[in-house]
A and B are shown apart, each in its own frame.
Chain A
Amino acid sequence: MKYAITSIKDSVKSNCSSHFGRSEYFAIYDTEEKTLKFIKNPFQNLPKRAGPSVVKLLSSMNVQIVVSAEFGERIKNILESLKIGMIIISDPNKTIEKIISSIDNKH
């Protein structure tokens, strides 16, 4: 199962981004291979429709669940129709590291 976590910096110590489409980085975590890689968001400075472009990119990478601090209304609709799960992190101190460890504990 592949998770995409929005991230402010490309390190595991950074926090979740609160802008899904305009997040600086995405941490792609694969639970089967236990691999984590950071990709820079190529659509960060797009004037509009950054979110849908990101969704297209992530779904082409077979991401099944996205984790962010917030999602826009339009993105929720798109993700739902693609059957991609959403997790909203409400704790602002939760770093990428902590999120991944709780995902690992589950599997």
Chain B
Amino acid sequence: MARPKNLRRIDTHPLVKGYKPIDFIGNKQHSLVIINLEEYESIRLCDYESKSQEEAALLMGVSRPTFTRIYAYARKKVAEAFTEGKGIVFEGGRVFLDSDWYTCGDCKSSFNNYLHITNPTCTLCGSTNINSYEE
């Protein structure tokens, strides 16, 4: 049996579920290319945020060769969609969202650092008496 894939860390979900071709020339086609969330993330990190593959691999929690493979698949799929006039959907993938949760020592509530600030305070009571939350 093949070894199960490690979960890849992604920052955010894509803002849209996918893309549709405009005015397809030729016979009407309804085929789609499915881009996994980890592949979307690899394009976002490498091309949009211009990170090196090594940095991007570290951010996603996979090895550099694995990242290169994910990225290669992603580009292959985007190229396929562009040249064959296919739609793109973002779907699936072995991913988890990167969230940092904290518990407040004063009001005993848990909260997430949703703005990704470096020194978070409790979003409910503003206390600095907080601990990193372990599930």
Interface residue ranges, A against B (CB under 8 Å) = 65, 67, 76-81, 83-91, 94, 99, 102-103, 105-107
Contacts and interface: CB of A to CB of B under 8 A. Distances in A.
Contacts of A99: 124
Main secondary structure of the interface of B (DSSP, over half): loop
**Interface size class, chain B:** 10 to 19
Contact of B99 (A76, A78, A84): A76
Contacts of A103: 124-125
Nearest to B103: A90
28 contacts: A65-B123, A76-B99, A77-B13, A77-B97, A80-B12, A80-B112, A81-B15, A81-B97, A83-B115, A85-B114, A86-B114, A87-B109, A87-B110, A87-B111, A89-B109, A90-B108, A91-B107, A94-B109, A99-B124, A102-B107, A102-B125, A103-B124, A103-B125, A105-B125, A106-B124, A106-B125, A106-B126, A107-B126
B124 A84 contact: no
Contacts of A77: 13, 97
Interface in B87-124: 97, 99, 107-112, 114-115, 122-124
A49 to B, nearest CB: 14
B114 A80 contact: yes
